[in-house]
Amino acid sequence: MNKTKISLSLAVISGLFLAGCGQSADSSDAAKSSEQTKMEKVMYPITKKGDVVDEYFGTQVPDPYRWLEDDMSAETADWVKAQNVTTQSYLSNIPYREKIEKRLSALLDYEKVGTPFIEGDYSYFYKNDGLQNQYVLYRQKGESEAEVFLDPNTFSEDGTVSLASLEFTQDGSLAVYMISEGGSDWRKARIINTETKEMVEKELVDIKFSGLSWVGNEGFYYSSYDKPKGSELSAKTDQHKLYYHKLGTSQADDTLVFGGTDAEKHRYVGGNVTDDGKYLLVSAAVSTSGNRLFIKDLTKSDSKLIPVVTNTDSDNYLLTSEGDDLLLVTNMDAPNKRVVKVNALSPEPKNWVDVIPETENVLSVSTGGGYLFAKYMRHATSFVQQYQLTGELVRNIELPEVGTAGGFSGKKTQAKIYYSFSNQKTPSTTFSLDVKSGSSDVYMKSKVKFNSDDFESKQVFYASKDGTKVPMIITHKKGLKLDGTNPTILYGYGGFNISLQPQFSSTRAAWLELGGVYAVANLRGGGEYGKKWHDAGTKLQKQNVFDDFIAAAEYLISEKITSSDKLAVMGGSNGGLLVGAVMTQRPELFKVALPAVGVLDMLRYHTFTSGAGWAYDYGTSEDNKEMFEYLLGYSPVHNVKAGVQYPATLVTTGDHDDRVVPAHSFKFAAELQAKQAGSNPTLIRIETDAGHGAGTPISKTIEQYADIYGFTLYNMGVKDI
């Protein structure tokens, strides 16, 4: 099955790098500038304390900042404004902050072109001329001149309305695309005739966490929740439903396919139709790991949904199909995943036959040109093999060097497909692959002005607290002096089976150009070594993730790559939790902490929006006394202690983040400001009309990174750049 999934990630959009800057190597100089002395005396807005106390299994837990959870109150809005005034006052007085912003703007101003994909008679591709807030979607027929197909920059004046996803019919004549407003996960869907580019009917509204899957040219499946009462940005959304929309009918008349009863209640539901339109496969999950699977014969109007996988102990999804034969990807009895074949008329697991068996390496797989492309991870780096649909190995795909390859997808009829390759120091290059001969040709090189030959990237393995060997990739300029004075960013995530593979990012290149070090640790909780590695960082083993990250910091210091005075820790979302946990457990280990859109209140995270779906990784405070006490033991909001000097901290979030609601960050910042000892600033930067990250306009990205870089360098003792 080859459905085009378009995701304009923040990592792709923010192609930033900073060049030609130097820094002071001495952060302990007593003769600080008058500006720095002045800025250290931050006067924080007064944050009132309430008297809310919750009781968990006989233990009373105060929640003095509960009122900040009300994102609809004028009082919370006033607090946000006051905090932003304080933060921007501090950041604007950093003497080189404006210089960083101008430099970022100049360096971002180059043409960026995405990997092409085929729909109907056209080749489509995304392009940004330089400083456009959103990428523009172009199309081209044969050798004719490319034309604009969709320009998200016209969706709003400030660039805060973005293109979230796009799905074409098999013949390419119709498309449905979704937009996100202000970064929200709630979407609107617009259906267009691709020749005229005109909408064919009124847009659909109130769609969330949804794929799009067409049935011929007649209609499509999508998913959503009932719109919550109260705040749509923070109210709990717990019962996902799959709908079918028939073109030419009102959304109010859409057919509810799955999820409408208590027996069918799941938090994440999705539907995928086979390319020939014959079968619908429905996935239903209660958390972010594990799903039930059902199948429905669409050629029979009275057919029922037939269970295929009846429990949520494994992950299972449709890859492609040939008539009644289905190819599925699963980790059932295969923690590193395998591809299986089964007949749709008897699809139970007992009838599954391996097409690509499980190996010692973690598998992800795609289809293109009538072949399977198995993308394996070996210690978090890519190894790719091409297979026949029947499972015979065709060849190994030779990659330029050690790094990460992505793509390898396309229509069954395509003679050429495309893939990208990059690593921490090598900008992304797009290649075309002839699926018959296996030969690859460079299709397009990145135009970013960065000389990778000046840098080196190496993978090391260090011992965590319990002796587990953890990989980390460290990148820096060649000839780096190991004297402990190098500004270093240590980045991590460690959750939800997500793998951090080496990829080029111009935000990382900023540190490299500065002479800094960028280190990425592949912590437990991620997916780098399959389900076992993931599970080793979940629930009552979550501390393993924090121990892995702390051990990474200690390794960098012991090897004299950096020191505590020159070390910043960074992470977003679950990575924001990671930063919040390690900075409260080992505050003396880091100079700067940068928790972004973090999950920081571990006792209440499951009460907001879709948070309850994260329980596979975290457990909840309602599960039992042991789980409550474990969560309380590391929850960042609950472990800020008075009289402790915490690292200089810049908390970042968005006021429209309806995935990890900003109340997490609000409460954490309030606790830090009330209890921080010493002069390290504890600030919160709250972006307006912004969400969890995806779709952020480039103008806001430039401002955000200018603030982050300025804050980090300044608090590492950098006096000028």
Alpha carbon distance 579, 382 (integer Å): 27
Q: Which DSSP state fits 644?
A: B
Kindly give, in sequence order, each residue whose CB lies less than 8 Å from that of residue 549, ignoring residues fewer than 6 positions away. Answer: 490, 492, 494, 521, 523, 569, 578, 582
* CB-neighbour burial class of residue 535 (10 A; exposed 0-12, middle 13-18, buried 19+): middle
Catalytic position from the list 245, 534, 656, 692: 692
Cα 317 versus chain centre, distance: 20
DSSP string, 136-180: EEEEE-TTSPPEEEE-GGGS-TTS-EEEEEEEE-TTSSEEEEEEE
Residue 651's closest CA among 597, 705, 703, 604? 597
DSSP string, 325-342: EEEEEE-TT-TT-EEEEE
DSSP string, 31-51: ---HHHHHHHS--PPP-----
Residue 614's closest CA among 529, 542, 667, 686? 542
Cα 640 versus chain centre, distance: 27
CA atoms within 13 A on the CB side of 240: 25
Catalytic position from the list 506, 573, 610, 621: 573
573 is known as an active-site residue? yes
Structure tokens at 41: 């005396």
Residue 93 near residue 100, CB atoms below 8 Å: no
Alpha carbon distance 82, 77 (integer Å): 9
DSSP string, 652-719: EEETT--SS-THHHHHHHHHHHHHB-SS--EEEEEETT--SSTT--HHHHHHHHHHHHHHHHHHTT--
Amino acid occupying residue 349: P
Residue 514 near residue 477, CB atoms below 8 Å: no
Structure tokens at 249: 């009918």
Alpha carbon distance 124, 139 (integer Å): 4
Question: How many other CB atoms sit within 10 Å of the CB of residue 238?
Answer: 18
Residue 189 near residue 211, CB atoms below 8 Å: no
Cα 388 versus chain centre, distance: 32
Q: Is 119 helix (H, G, I), strand (E, B) or coil?
A: strand
Alpha carbon distance 596, 491 (integer Å): 12
Q: Which residues partner with 518 through β-bridges?
A: 475, 489
H-run or E-run covering 223: strand 219-224
The residue behind tokens 């404004």 is: 81
Task: Please report, to the nearest 10 degrees, the dihedral formed by the alpha carbons of residues 306, 310, 316, 320 taken in order.
Answer: -10
Backbone phi, psi, residue 81, to 5°:
-60, -45
Alpha carbon distance 681, 669 (integer Å): 11
Alpha carbon distance 305, 211 (integer Å): 19
Q: Which residues partner with 118 through β-bridges?
A: 123
Alpha carbon distance 467, 461 (integer Å): 11
Task: Please report, to the nearest 10 degrees, the dihedral formed by the alpha carbons of residues 616, 618, 619, 622 taken in order.
Answer: -140
Task: Catalogue the active-site residues.
Answer: 573, 692
